[in-house]
């Protein structure tokens, strides 16, 4: 028997089943500094709408058994978890303003579909309430097991003939959005779509300085800064470390024992100081993010990528 969806998502599912549908598209601006938006008119073909509602409904119902947890930058999502984050905190004010009135957007034309397509969103609106189901688009053709297929005809979506170019949608979504909250199913997609990389990069030197101030000397700190700035996931991990609250507990002696016990690269610690080795670019971050743990049940040692704190 399918597990029920979280109770707070039920009103969103009601909007999906009863609302008017638009399909909003987000395009990466040429200078990569932001997004621009277009809308696909999906109000002509009732057949398309029925399949779209089915697709969106399936996507929400797949969240049965998921737990909703408040957003915390220091923790990673488990396999059946989603973050709840206020839209104001997430910096999505512009997106909310755009998606709650998709009819005001310029209609997308055939030439809009190129490599700049960043995401698509099914937007459902009923009596002023709305919800958007958003999926990052890696290319025009987004495929899956259960496909919803539509084409442009007079700037509107309808069913395709065999010789027409198609858009493929499926029932997997990266985030759900309404006026109040964004529910994150895949944080990486959120970062890729809506995070300003330049702002993250600007914070990296300060984060590394904080590590050094806490007594965690880094021999080649400048190279470490550059490496982190090149990878959003590394920047996220570095921020988690700086916000962890346990940096004062880390010592060179503990780091040395960790290297020995888990047979880590000997290049990561030189003379009691951390050393960034490009060959093992994640090693320092994994050590400081407390990713090496041992089981008290089996005495096995693990490198983990998701942790939930259960004791102080």
Question: 207 and 146, same structural domain?
Answer: no
Q: Which of 144, 179, 194 is the last residue of a domain?
A: 194
pLDDT of residue 159: 59
In a domain, 1, yes or no: no
Tokens found for residue 182: 């964004």
Question: 153 and 123, same structural domain?
Answer: yes
Residues 6+ apart with CB under 8 A from 132: 24, 99, 121, 122, 123, 124, 176, 177, 178
Question: 99 and 146, same structural domain?
Answer: yes
pLDDT tens for each residue of the chain, 312 residues long: 778 999 999 999 999 998 888 888 888 876 656 788 988 765 545 677 788 888 899 999 999 999 999 987 767 788 899 999 999 989 899 899 999 888 888 887 766 665 577 888 999 999 889 999 999 875 443 333 445 555 544 555 665 555 444 556 778 899 999 999 999 999 888 988 888 888 889 999 999 999 999 999 999 999 999 999 998 889 989 998 999 899 999 999 999 999 999 999 999 999 999 999 999 999 999 999 998 888 888 888 887 766 666 655
In a domain, 20, yes or no: yes
Contact 284, 238 (CB under 8 A): no
In a domain, 136, yes or no: yes
Question: 118 and 77, same structural domain?
Answer: yes
Q: State the total domains in the chain.
A: 2
Beta strands in the chain (DSSP E): 20-28, 35-40, 67-70, 81-86, 117-126, 129-136, 148-153, 156-158, 167-169, 175-177, 181-184, 269-270, 273-274, 292-294, 301-303
Read off the pTM.
0.70
Q: How far is CA 63 from CA 5, 18, 191, 311, in A?
A: 6, 19, 21, 28
In a domain, 237, yes or no: yes
Q: Which of 170, 194, 218 is the last residue of a domain?
A: 194
Question: 249 and 186, same structural domain?
Answer: no
Q: Which of 194, 209, 228 is the last residue of a domain?
A: 194
Question: 169 and 68, same structural domain?
Answer: yes
136 backbone dihedrals φ, ψ, rounded to 5°: -65, 140
Question: 202 and 187, same structural domain?
Answer: no
Residues 6+ apart with CB under 8 A from 144: 168, 170, 171, 172
In a domain, 312, yes or no: no
Question: 132 and 202, same structural domain?
Answer: no
**Which residues partner with 123 through β-bridges?**
22, 132
Question: 106 and 202, same structural domain?
Answer: no
Contact 137, 143 (CB under 8 A): no
Question: 58 and 24, same structural domain?
Answer: yes
Question: 34 and 135, same structural domain?
Answer: yes
What is the domain range of residue 169? 7-194
Question: 165 and 33, same structural domain?
Answer: yes
């Amino acid at each position: 028997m399918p597990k029920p969806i979280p109770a707070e998502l039920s009103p969103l599912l009601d909007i999906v089943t009863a609302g008017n549908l638009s399909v909003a598209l987000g395009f990466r601006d040429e200078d990569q500094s932001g997004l621009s938006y277009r809308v696909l008119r999906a109000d002509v073909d009732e057949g398309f709408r029925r399949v779209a509602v089915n697709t969106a409904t399936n996507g929400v119902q797949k969240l049965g058994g998921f737990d909703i947890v408040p957003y915390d930058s220091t923790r990673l999502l488990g396999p059946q978890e989603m973050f709840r984050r206020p839209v104001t905190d997430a910096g999505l004010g512009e997106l909310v303003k755009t998606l709650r009135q998709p009819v005001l957007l310029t209609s997308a034309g055939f030439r809009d579909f190129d490599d700049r397509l960043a995401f698509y969103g099914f937007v459902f609106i009923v009596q002023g309430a709305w919800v958007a189901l958003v999926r990052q688009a890696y290319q025009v053709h987004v495929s899956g097991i259960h496909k919803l297929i539509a084409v442009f005809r007079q700037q509107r979506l309808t069913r395709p003939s065999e010789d027409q170019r198609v858009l493929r949608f499926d029932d997997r979504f990266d985030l759900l959005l309404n006026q109040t909250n964004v529910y994150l199913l895949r944080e990486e997609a959120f970062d890729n779509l809506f995070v300003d990389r330049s702002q993250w990069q600007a914070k990296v030197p300060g984060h590394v300085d904080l590590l050094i101030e806490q007594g965690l000397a880094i021999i080649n700190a400048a190279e470490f800064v550059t490496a982190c700035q090149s990878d959003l996931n590394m920047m996220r991990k570095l921020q988690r470390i700086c916000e962890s609250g346990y940096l004062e507990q880390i010592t060179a002696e503990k780091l040395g024992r960790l290297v020995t016990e888990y047979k880590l690269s000997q290049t990561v610690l030189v003379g009691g100081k951390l050393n960034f080795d490009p060959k093992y670019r994640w090693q320092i971050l994994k050590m400081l993010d407390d990713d090496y743990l041992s089981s008290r049940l089996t005495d096995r040692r693990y490198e983990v990528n998701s942790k939930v704190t259960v004791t102080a």
